[in-house]
Amino acid sequence: MDQERSIDRDFVKGKLEPGIYRDDKDLGFCLKVTPAGRKVYQVRKRVKGESEKTTVTIGTHEEMTATVARKHAQTIIRQMAEGINPNEVAKNKKKAQEEKRRAKLLEQQAKEITVGKALSDYLATRDLKPGTKYNYRCVVEAYLADWMHVSMAELNKDLVLDRYQKIGEENGTGAANNTMRVLRALFAFAAHRYEVDGKPVVVDNPVTYLSRLRAWQKLPRRQTVLTVHQIKPWYEGVMKLGDDTHKDFFVFLLFTGLRKGEAMSLTWPDVDLDGATVLIRDTKNRRPHMLPLSDFLLEMLKRRRKVRGSDYVFPGKLKGRMAEPTTLVEDIRKASGITFIPHDLRRTFATVAESLDLSWKTVKSLLNHKMDDDVTAGYVVSEAERLRSAMQRITDTLLQIIEAEEDAQDTGSTSEKAAGKPARSKKGVEF
């Protein structure tokens, strides 16, 4: 049914059959009656410039009177005559309201995403080694402590650049670069981790500005080692430390070539005194590293085992994992006059190994440099046995260097005297 009527109060209140009733005054104003008896005010008319009719719903009879509906219809009809599609206007208005709502939510959420929260969530989410997590937290707490409760959205490129330059001036290029790499990783993580309706809360990564500006300072690759003439005074400086654990820790680093974190994480369940090996699980390349122990190292660990008070071979003050040995390194430097970092000991170990004309494969195996992903438990054990003689030769060479020529005449090293071995001579040792 499609009829023309004056759509007024009396007409709408009447009993009407389902159909479309058109107003005879305002052309396009209609009343639609559904099969269920619902009465809906509409405008059905062509928008200027369009070929098809457009239906615009005004509202139901329950929501408004016929008089109010007619006024709305007159406004809509004028808009359509001007080429305006009211449906598109309503759609755009709704879209704008939704975008405003989303923007408000994003703004509220952004205020809650602080550097500290991003760090905690990053460390809890990412599959990182304990040492890496520890280093990330140390870096942020050392150089970005005042940003821990600052919203990431508040950090712009200027603040980042200023902080980068400040850290570089006060703590060195290495610290500045490392800090910004950590911060860059946190921003990249936040961009994917935090969303509102599928849109990221943290959009910009201000650390990338350093690359666009070419502001990163180059840090020359460190290749320092202890020279043959520095090893003895360095060792004497280590022996002046007040704690036996600290003394053994640094000597262990030099005589094994292990990374600092690997030795700090070593626990007694991974020490086999009967088989004279140690198993390093937390390695940089995630490959288990079984290292044979020389006689000198075996005696050291047997001695430490007798007085163990922790699961850690080299425990900290509270019997847990040893803290970063930064202060100890400085104490050794002051006592010996030798400037070094723990990784220099690893490079020194490698240099001694190379001076003995050991094969490149043997040296790489001793240092646990990645060579083959197909590693079985049996291979790890057999590899350790293959390296045992090389490990002993390196130990013997280091002890020859440490033993002063004048002392070699009548004393010998502490470990040698305990084992009934003759003192070793420094003569002929070169690298």
pLDDT confidence tier of residue 129, bands split at 50, 70 and 90 = confident
Q: Above 60 in pLDDT, residue 2?
A: no
Q: Is 59 helix (H, G, I), strand (E, B) or coil?
A: strand
Among 20-34, 159-173, 185-199, whose mean pLDDT is lowest? 185-199
Q: Above 90 in pLDDT, residue 398?
A: yes
Q: 112-212 belongs to which homologous superfamily?
A: Tyrosine recombinase, N-terminal domain (1.10.150.130)
Three-point CA angle 76, 80, 84, nearest 5°: 105
How far apart, in whole angstroms, are the C-alpha atoms of residue 330 and residue 170?
18
pLDDT score of 429: 58
Give the global pTM.
Answer: 0.57
Three-point CA angle 25, 30, 35, nearest 5°: 145
Q: Is 233 helix (H, G, I), strand (E, B) or coil?
A: helix
Among residues 180, 182, 199, 174, the alpha carbon closest in space to that of 118 is found at 182
Q: What CATH code is assigned to 2-84? A: 3.30.160.390
Q: Above 50 in pLDDT, residue 418?
A: no
Q: Between 239 and 407, where is the model more confident?
A: 239
Q: Above 90 in pLDDT, residue 1?
A: no
Asked whether 319 and 309 are in contact (CB, 8 A), the reply is yes
27 CB neighbour count, 10 Å cutoff: 14
Going by C-beta distance under 8 Å and a sequence separation of 6 or more, which residues neighbour residue 206? 155, 156, 157, 159, 160, 187
Among 31-35, 45-49, 280-284, whose mean pLDDT is lowest? 280-284
pLDDT confidence tier of residue 420, bands split at 50, 70 and 90 = very low
Cite the residue boundaries of each domain of the chain with CATH code 1.10.443.10: 231-419
Q: Above 50 in pLDDT, residue 58?
A: yes
Asked whether 160 and 215 are in contact (CB, 8 A), the reply is no
325-344 pLDDT per residue, tens: 989 999 999 999 999 999 99
CATH architecture of the domain covering 231-419: Orthogonal Bundle (1.10)
Cite the residue boundaries of each domain of the chain with CATH code 3.30.160.390: 2-84
Buried b (16+ CB within 10 A) or exposed e, 321-336: bbeebeebbebbeebb
Q: Above 80 in pLDDT, residue 258?
A: yes
